[in-house]
Amino acid sequence: MSEVSVTMAAERLGVNVSRVRSLLNSGRLAGRRVGSVWLVDSSDVERRRAATKGVKGRPLSARVTWTSAALFDGLGTDWLSSAERSRLSARWQTSGGAAQVCRWWMQSRATATRYRIAPDDIAELLKFEGVVAGGISAASHYGTGLGHSAEAEIYASTATAKRLVDEFFLLADPQGNLTVHEVTADTHWHCRTARIVEGVQVAPRLIVAADLLDSDDTRSRSAGAALLTDVLSSHRERQGQLVAS
């Protein structure tokens, strides 16, 4: 197996080094640790680069990513001017709903790390204060038909993530069954944009779509693409209704 350094992988993918480390920690990029150094599978780097070939423009900032998610779910975005809302809507509509564009633009939403958790603890973890369900853990709430009680995907602040590690005895494992997206911004966008469903805080559809599109599972990626299309279509309809009124 041919391997490259984290720095070289970042250059080939057009992202920063911290993004490559996040992909490795979450198991979404193949590699191995040698002491404190990561070696990245070069064929997996090329696979990921091919998936975003032709995508132009810089990834969205964390603020714009979460703002997009709130806007498209019809949530309050009073921190935006009407002109900013229009520009943001127009930018997404020009994407054509392409899955690879979504993956590229949304990559700054959080830093992901994968852990191993006892399946029996997942239900309790999802109701932990400050935890917001994403990906496979939120998919069923949006009618995707996906669900898996033995896996979980969540968003949490840095402080909450540390508490989870201690209280649920989480072990870092790139092949683990729990993905923790750590939101480092003090604004806690994940909580500000979440909705409560059956006692669980759930991330907006655009965030969940991006999580599913990042999955290695074909069925999850297909569900993510369908959810993305639904998000953009419903937003267009709302915009049309506003103009008509």
pLDDT digits (tens, 9 = 90+) for 88-117: 888 888 777 688 888 889 988 999 999 999
pTM of the predicted model as reported, rounded to 2 decimal places: 0.85
Question: What per-residue confidence (pLDDT) applies to 169?
Answer: 96
Distance of alpha carbon 37 from the chain centroid: 25
Helix, strand or coil, per DSSP, at residue 226: helix
Helix, strand or coil, per DSSP, at residue 105: helix
The alpha carbons of the chain give a radius of gyration, in whole angstroms, of 18
Q: Domain extents for the chain?
A: 3-51, 62-244
Question: What per-residue confidence (pLDDT) applies to 136?
Answer: 96
Question: What per-residue confidence (pLDDT) applies to 114?
Answer: 94
Question: What per-residue confidence (pLDDT) applies to 223?
Answer: 96
Question: What per-residue confidence (pLDDT) applies to 244?
Answer: 52
Question: What per-residue confidence (pLDDT) applies to 203?
Answer: 97
The tokens describing 116, both together, are 């191993």
Q: Low-confidence residues of the chain, pLDDT below 50?
A: none
Name, in order, each residue with C-beta under 8 angstroms of 33's C-beta and a sequence gap of 6 or more: 39
